[in-house]
Structures are given as structure tokens and as C-alpha cells.
Amino acid sequence: MSESSFADVEFVVRTVAETVVANEAYFGELDAVVGDGDFGFSLARGFEKVLEEMAGFDRSSISGFLKKAGVTIASRTGGTSGPLWGTAFMRAGGAAADKTVLSGADVVAMLRAAAAGIQQRGGAALGEKTLLDALVPMIDRFEAELANGNAAGAFEAAAETAVRAAEATASLEAKRGRASYTGARSIGSPDPGAVAIGVLAQAVHKAWRKRREGDKTDA
């Protein structure tokens, strides 16, 4: 990936939203193990609203589009998920600034801004069993693959890293969120937010690959 247009950004946001809605029950089941079980429901309601209102989002810029998605998520998603996921999209939009096309480096910067926003808003650090424990390794791998000249395989490698990192959170004790109230009992189950990052990364990778292969076939 050398450049990403507005259409590409919209495609990724739509893929993420559709995947969240499709995995509502799964994410809820994960959260029910040591949490209150509402993670899947809350997140799905926010992203359902994104899908419903996306056609009316600001399309004058990539930044404006992502910020509007973030505001929608933050206002329509219950619990702590709304502010965290909404902030991620808004910060990514802010990092996009006035760019009309995005390079791989731009995407990395936007993902870094999203992670930093989540960390600042939630007060979490790596190793505390949150979605950051999958998101940050995913970004690191994506950036490393681009630096090594593997732009074509960067999405796939990053997605694989996200899934493995999410699975590894099972060995951690939760330090944030409702799961932290259970203390050592949280060990043995992966963090639902981290798992969601892995699921979404895989979905985006597969959808992106299918889209690109379709473009080549049509050419």
C-alpha cells in the first residue's frame, strides 16, 4: 500500500463497523467471563449508528469523516467503550490533518494517535490487559513491515500479530475496567477489547485483499 484515498478509508471504516455488529454476541460472551457482558452490545449499538448515518458524514476530508465517525461512536456507545473507541477515531482523524491521500507512514501515524488517545482517555498502560495490548503490537508490526519494504504483506502480518497478542492477554491480570475487580480470577481469559482488535484486524486484512484482487481482475 503506497497511497490510500478517501474511498479506502470509508471502506475500512465500513468493514470495521460491519464486523463489530456481526460479532456482537461473541464479544459479549467474552466480556461475560469476568466483566458485565455488555461490551458486545454497547459497541454494536455505536457502530450500527455509524452504518446508519455514514452516508451523511462529512466527505470533504478524510479527517472530517473520521472525526464524525468518532463523535457518533462516542455518543451512541454505552459504558467506557464509547469514549475510548470514539476518541480513537477522532484522534486518527486529527492525525490525518488536511491530507487527501495517505501513505503507509500516514496510516501508522494515525494508528499511533488513536492508541495514544485511548491510553490518555482510559489511563491504561501496556500489560494491564486492555485493547492496547493487541493494538500497539499490531501497529509496531505494521510499521516494521513497511520499513522492511513489505507493503503488500503489512496488513496480513499486522493482523496475525494482533490475534496472537490478544490471545496472550489471557496470561495477564486485569488492571483496568470491570474485570480488574476480579483480580487474579481475570487470569486465564483474554481481554475482550484486545480480542476485538484481532478480529477487526483480520476482517480488514481479508476484506482489503479481496477488494484489491477484485480490482486486478477488473483491470
The pLDDT tens digits of the residues spanning 4-23 come to 699 999 999 999 999 999 99
* Residue 195 resides in a domain: yes
Q: How far is it, in rounded angstroms, from Cα 110 to Cα 121?
A: 16
What average pLDDT does this structure show over 90-106?
A: 95
* Residue 217 resides in a domain: no
DSSP letter at 102 equals B
User: What's at 19, amino acid-wise?
Assistant: T
Phi, psi angle pair for 83, to nearest 5°:
-60, -40
Residues whose CB falls within 8 Å of the CB of residue 210, separated by 6 or more in sequence, listed in order: none
* Residue 72 resides in a domain: yes
What average pLDDT does this structure show over 121-149?
A: 96
Question: What is the predicted pLDDT for the residue at 151?
Answer: 92
* Residue 38 resides in a domain: yes
Residues whose CB falls within 8 Å of the CB of residue 205, separated by 6 or more in sequence, listed in order: 155, 156, 158, 159
* Residue 218 resides in a domain: no
- C-alpha cell, 179: 474485570
Question: What is the predicted pLDDT for the residue at 185?
Answer: 62
- C-alpha cell, 76: 451512541
Could you report the per-residue pLDDT of 87-97, keeping only the tens digit for each? 999 999 999 99
pTM of the model: 0.92
Number of domains observed in the structure of the chain: 1
- C-alpha cell, 41: 452490545
Q: How far is it, in rounded angstroms, from Cα 144 to Cα 141?
A: 5
- C-alpha cell, 155: 496488513
The enclosing domain of 125 has a CATH number of: 1.25.40.340
**pLDDT bucket at 33, cuts 50 / 70 / 90:** confident
* Residue 35 resides in a domain: yes
Q: How far is it, in rounded angstroms, from Cα 127 to Cα 183?
A: 14
Q: How far is it, in rounded angstroms, from Cα 218 to Cα 193?
A: 37
* Residue 125 resides in a domain: yes
- Domain of 31, in residue numbers: 6-209
* Residue 1 resides in a domain: no
Map residue 4 onto helix, strand or coil: strand
